[in-house]
Structure 1
Amino acid sequence: MVLRQLQWPHQLGRNKISMRLDRALCNESCNEMWESISCRTLARSSSDHHPILVLLQKNVKRFKSQFKFLDMWTMHPDCCTDCSMFVLGRKLQTTKRDLRCWNKHMLGNVHQRVLQAHSRLKNIQNSKASLEEETCAQIDLQLALKMEEAYWKEKAKLKWYIENDHKNA
């Protein structure tokens, strides 16, 4: 477990007083449930406490599901009666490709973005940077965290939908 030795800065002008307050605890049943447990201290954002990130891992196989146009659809009589279905399919494929490219180049990996924002804020807090720089870094971190939260919400909804769909089938 990697935790900052002194975690709570109390600001008195330029003089910082630090005390160790934040902790993470785990009981035996939690230890048995997860194959790997670790925690680390993150950079402060809007609180005077450093958040502690607890990482719990199991070996889970992951797969990337993709939308795929199925040729069997074209065998149904209603599919071929309207050519606009094929045009729509091609437009969807183009949109999908363009959005993936845009996401990769403009947003990048949302998890990596959070780590970079944490790192930047931590570096600023450990240096004698101005309060404005720290505020900007905190705003960047909050935005990255909101984006990551939205990402995980969508993934959770998709997982819930898939699991319930299989149960009802």
Structure 2
Amino acid sequence: MEETGVFDIGFLGSNFTWCNNRRGRARVSKWLDRLLVSGACSDLSAAISVTHLARHPSDHAPLKMSFVTRLDNKPRPFHFLNVWMTKPELLEVIRQTWGQEVSGPPLRVLSSKLLVKRRAIQAWNKQSFGDIFDAVRKVEVAV
């Protein structure tokens, strides 16, 4: 695999993809099937997942490959980055956005304030740090 420049992206599910379907001590289970990806696709490996499905009634487990794309337009989860705490301006961004008046039921107020705060922190992050995830990807490729 090293010589050809491919690597296994891992899997979810059972550790074995084949079984001889015998009982007791005669039973043999092996991990035979895997998905290999070339080095040229290494940046896509996070978007690909493999699941070992149930073998029943066969002796081989089918592999289910899933490809995740950002074309689904679902909102990305908000991740707080510890590096933000190195900049004292973050606290002021949070204070300004949290202090804004919002009316409505308590849960709607909380949800609105969190949404406004998230957008403000994301804008501040782009201005203060740039795209950290892009920088990490570039460093990983260089390494």
For Structure 1 versus Structure 2, the TM-score category normalised by the shorter chain is 0.3 to 0.5
**Larger fraction in helix:** 1
TM-score (normalised: structure 1): 0.30
TM-score (normalised: structure 2): 0.34
